[in-house]
Amino acid sequence: MFPLKLSPEYFVNRELGILAFNRRVLAQAEDERVPLLERLKFLCIFSSNMDEFFEVRVAGLKEQIKYNSLHVGPDGLMPKQAFEKISSESHELVDHQYNILNNIVLPQLAQLDIRFLRRGHWNDTQREWIRNYFFRELMPILTPIGLDPSHPFPRVLNKSLNFAVELEGKDAFGRNSGVAVVQAPRALPRVIRLPSDIAGCEYGFVFLSSILHAHVDELFSGMQVKGCYQFRVTRDSDLNLDDEETKDLRIALQGELSHRQYGDAVRLEVADSCPPAMSSFLLGQFGLGPEDLYQVNGIVNLVRLMQVPDWVDRPELKFARYTPSAPKEFAKEADIFKVIRKGDVLLHHPYQSFNPVIEFIKQASEDPTVLAIKQTFYRTSADSTLMQSLIEAARRGKEVTVVVELLARFDEEANINWAAKLENAGAHVIYGVVGHKTHAKMAMVVRREDEKLRRYVHLSTGNYHQRTARLYTDFGLLTCQEEICEDVNDVFAQLTGLGKASKLRHLWQSPFTLHQRLIKAIQNEMEIAKSGKKARIIAKMNALLDSDIIRALYDASAAGVEIDLIVRGVCALKPGIPGISDNIRVRSIVGRFLEHTRIFYFYNNRAEDVYLASADWMYRNFFRRIEVCLPILDAKVKKRVIREGLEPYLKDNTNAWEMLPDGTYKLRPARRGTAFSAQNFLIQELGQDLPPEI
The CATH number given to whatever domain includes residue 240 is 3.30.1840.10
**By CB neighbour count within 10 A (0-12 exposed, 13-18 middle, 19+ buried), where does 598 fall?**
buried
**pLDDT-wise least confident of 305-319, 412-426, 443-457, 475-489:** 412-426
Residues 293 and 439 in one domain: no
Task: State yes or no: is 439 an active-site residue.
Answer: yes
CB 275 within 8 A of CB 227: yes
Query: Each residue of 578-591: pLDDT tens digit?
Result: 999 999 999 999 99
| Phi, psi (rounded to 5 degrees) for 539 | -140, 130
Q: Is the pLDDT of residue 693 over 60?
A: no
* Nearest CA-CA partner of 44 in 99, 89, 97, 93: 97
Q: Is the pLDDT of residue 408 over 70?
A: no
Residues 387 and 248 in one domain: no
pLDDT confidence bin for 257, thresholds 50/70/90: low
Average pLDDT over residues 357-380: 96
**pLDDT-wise least confident of 77-91, 119-133, 162-176, 495-509:** 162-176
On whether residue 68 sits in a domain, the answer given is yes
Average pLDDT over residues 512-529: 98
Beta strand 609-613 with 625-631 is antiparallel
- Count other Cβ atoms within 10 Å, centred on residue 499: 8
CB 274 within 8 A of CB 231: yes
- Helix ranges, 371-513 (H): 385-395, 412-425, 482-496
* Nearest CA-CA partner of 617 in 584, 570, 585: 570
> Distance between CA 300 and CA 621 in Å, rounded?
34
Contacting residues for 386 by C-beta, under 8 A, at least 6 apart:
357, 358, 361, 375, 380, 464, 466
Binding site residue list for ATP? 49, 472, 568, 596
| Phi, psi (rounded to 5 degrees) for 536 | -150, 135
CA angle 477, 479, 483 (to 5 degrees): 120
Average pLDDT over residues 330-347: 95
CB 207 within 8 A of CB 190: yes
Residues 556 and 446 in one domain: no
Q: Which CATH number does the domain housing residue 422 bear?
A: 3.30.870.10
Average pLDDT over residues 122-142: 96
Average pLDDT, the chain: 92
Contacting residues for 32 by C-beta, under 8 A, at least 6 apart:
none
Residue 178 is predicted with a pLDDT of 85
- Residues shown for the chain: 694
Average pLDDT over residues 613-624: 97
Quick one: how far is CA 358 from the chain centroid? Answer: 22
On whether residue 276 sits in a domain, the answer given is yes
Q: Is the pLDDT of residue 468 over 70?
A: yes
Query: Each residue of 534-546: pLDDT tens digit?
Result: 999 999 999 999 9
Domain count for the chain, please give it.
3
Active-site entry in 215, 439, 465, 515: 439
On whether residue 593 sits in a domain, the answer given is yes
> Distance between CA 47 and CA 97 in Å, rounded?
9
Residue 663 is predicted with a pLDDT of 96
Please give the biggest Cα pair distance in the chain: 90
pTM: 0.93
Residues 523 and 492 in one domain: no
- Percent share of the chain, pLDDT over 90: 81
Residue 276 is predicted with a pLDDT of 97
Q: Report which of residues 533 and 409 the model is more confident about.
A: 533
CB 436 within 8 A of CB 410: no
On whether residue 322 sits in a domain, the answer given is no
> Distance between CA 461 and CA 441 in Å, rounded?
7
Q: Is the pLDDT of residue 18 over 50?
A: yes
Residues 497 and 514 in one domain: no
> Distance between CA 209 and CA 302 in Å, rounded?
12
Average pLDDT over residues 315-329: 93
* Nearest CA-CA partner of 482 in 449, 524, 528, 520: 449
Residue 245 is predicted with a pLDDT of 44
> Distance between CA 33 and CA 58 in Å, rounded?
33
Contacting residues for 55 by C-beta, under 8 A, at least 6 apart:
158, 234, 235, 236, 237, 238, 266
Q: Tell me which residue range forms the domain holding 463.
A: 328-502
pLDDT confidence bin for 1, thresholds 50/70/90: very low
Residues 473 and 520 in one domain: no
The three-class DSSP label of residue 682 is helix
> Distance between CA 654 and CA 669 in Å, rounded?
7
Residues 492 and 561 in one domain: no
| Phi, psi (rounded to 5 degrees) for 189 | -70, 145
Residue 168 is predicted with a pLDDT of 86
> Distance between CA 285 and CA 179 in Å, rounded?
13
The alpha carbon dihedral of 431, 432, 438, 440 has a sign of negative
On whether residue 323 sits in a domain, the answer given is no
**Enclosing H/E stretch for 472:** strand 472-479
- Alpha-carbon radius of gyration of the chain: 27
Query: Each residue of 651-669: pLDDT tens digit?
Result: 999 999 999 999 999 998 7
> Distance between CA 574 and CA 568 in Å, rounded?
14
The three-class DSSP label of residue 599 is strand
> Distance between CA 604 and CA 522 in Å, rounded?
10
> Distance between CA 152 and CA 572 in Å, rounded?
45
Average pLDDT over residues 412-431: 90
pLDDT confidence bin for 242, thresholds 50/70/90: very low
Q: Write the CA distances from 409 to 12, 52, 210, 257, 399, integer angstroms.
A: 25, 10, 33, 11, 29
Residue 690 is predicted with a pLDDT of 39
Contacting residues for 473 by C-beta, under 8 A, at least 6 apart:
348, 349, 350, 351, 593, 594, 595, 596, 597, 679
Average pLDDT over residues 20-43: 97
| CA end-to-end distance (rounded Å), the chain | 46
> Distance between CA 254 and CA 416 in Å, rounded?
8
Select, from the ranges 230-244, 255-269, 633-647, the one with the highest average predicted confidence (pLDDT): 633-647
On whether residue 1 sits in a domain, the answer given is no
Domain boundary among 478, 502, 526: 502
> Distance between CA 564 and CA 549 in Å, rounded?
14
Residue 256 is predicted with a pLDDT of 55
Average pLDDT over residues 375-399: 94
> Distance between CA 388 and CA 362 in Å, rounded?
9
On whether residue 572 sits in a domain, the answer given is yes
CA angle 35, 36, 42 (to 5 degrees): 90
Residue 102 is predicted with a pLDDT of 97
Query: Each residue of 82-113: pLDDT tens digit?
Result: 999 999 999 999 999 999 999 999 999 999 99
Residue 205 is predicted with a pLDDT of 97
Residue 687 is predicted with a pLDDT of 75
Binding site residue list? 49, 379, 409, 472, 568, 596
> Distance between CA 276 and CA 272 in Å, rounded?
10
Position 562, amino acid: E
Binding site residue list for Mg(2+)? 379, 409
- Percent share of the chain, pLDDT over 70: 93
> Distance between CA 494 and CA 403 in Å, rounded?
11
pLDDT confidence bin for 688, thresholds 50/70/90: low
Residues 545 and 571 in one domain: yes
Q: Is the pLDDT of residue 636 over 80?
A: yes
Residues 309 and 334 in one domain: no
DSSP per-residue string spanning 555-582: HHHHTT-EEEEEESS-B-B----TTTST
Residues 551 and 477 in one domain: no
Domain boundary among 277, 296, 317: 317
On whether residue 392 sits in a domain, the answer given is yes
Q: Is the pLDDT of residue 411 over 80?
A: no
Residues 534 and 403 in one domain: no
Residues 298 and 192 in one domain: yes
Domain boundary among 286, 317, 348: 317
